[in-house]
Structure 1
Amino acid sequence: MFALRVACAGLLFLTACASSNKSVAPVRESRAPVHSAPVREGGAYGFGPEDPVRVGWGNEGMMAFLELLRGPEGQRVAWRRLGPSQGLEVFEVTYEGLAAPVQLYLDPLNSGAIRAPSGFNIEGLTSREPLPPEERPQVIEL
């Protein structure tokens, strides 16, 4: 009975440690226009350790963010984990047409409002910019 428990625990451990390596998506050669590095107007959100993308949820949060991250024209991104830095995870990210890969800093331990770093989009995320007062819907109190 003890051997069965140890075998089950070992199998559970191996299953939990196994992961599929979706980290590197092949970048196809094409004659698509070459984009310059993403414009960092409005700050360095995600491009440095001083203002990382706070994804939370550990590895699952980082993988979910990277799966939804897109180039400015909806291109899927290819990424490679470079390793930890100052408690953050650093990824080299590129997409078809980007002149050179960029480094993004993700915080897997702390969560916050997610937005796309400058020069990127997030699939399915609509703008979360607040509407100007004249465009806000009127609230009717009952």
Structure 2
Amino acid sequence: MRQINFICVFFSLLFLTACSGSKKTAQSTSSTSAATGKKMDYPMLDQGTFALTAVTTDKTYGYDQSNPIKVGGTTESSGPLNERRFFNALLGPNGETVTYVRKGSCCAFKSPNGFNGVGLLDRYEVTYDGLETPVILFINMYDYGELKAPVGFTYRK
């Protein structure tokens, strides 16, 4: 029974903290890497947009739940904001504006930054003009990693 209560509270908190819009919010981000313990400062284009510098060559990055985009922020209460900052930085392959909608959470995994050592990935449906079928990207807002644009996208400069 206690585990069921924990799960209900966990999903309620996740639902209340996760946002699905594309509004920009002003804050800067400075975080600690779960893997190394080192402080990570993500460069910013503005207060609501990360400054990406590369497109990955890894076709699974973001597209596969085993290789999510790690934006971090949960321990600083900026996980959903960091997700929006990442998506605000993305463009289609020819500079098209990207739209995104959060489709829920899935895929429990172990994380020292999660609730009782467990995190959930967020699933986002992402599209832009000219894309035949929207894509699903997986985001980890618990842990930090190097941010790149997934294959098929570019980024704001």
Could you say which structure has the larger radius of gyration? 1
CA RMSD across the alignment: 2.2
Q: Could you tell me which residue of structure 2 aligns to residue 37 of structure 1?
A: none
Q: Give 1:20 deviation, angstroms.
A: 9.1
Letter in 2 for 1:119: G
User: Quick check: 1:82 aligned with 2:103?
Assistant: yes
> Is residue 47 from structure 1 mapped to residue 80 from structure 2 by the alignment?
no
- Which structure 1 residue ranges, 4+ long, deviate > 2 Å from structure 2? 19-23, 40-43
What is the distance in 1 between the residues matched to 2:122 and 2:150? 15
Match of 1:22, as an amino acid? S
For the residues of structure 1 that align with 2:101 and 2:68, how far apart are their CA atoms?
A: 17
Partner of 1:91: 124
TM-score (norm 2): 0.53
TM-score normalised by L of structure 1: 0.59
SS at match of 1:22: coil
Q: SS of 2:132's equivalent?
A: coil
Correspondence for 1:102? 135
Alignment pair present for 1:22 and 2:22 = yes
Contact 2:21–2:101 at 8 Å: present in 1 too? Answer: no
| Structure 2 gaps, min length 5 | 1-16, 24-55, 74-78, 108-119
Unaligned runs of 5+ in 1: 1-16, 24-39, 125-142
SS at structure 2 position matched to 1:64: helix
Checking the alignment, whether the CA contact within 8 Å between 2:22 and 2:99 is kept in structure 1 is no
Question: What amino acid does structure 1 have at the position aligned with 2:88?
Answer: E
C-alpha distance in 2 between matches for 1:113 and 1:43: 15
Contact 2:57 2:151 in 1 (8 A): yes
Looking at structure 2, the residues matched to 53 and 119 of structure 1 have their Cα atoms a distance apart, in angstroms, of: 14
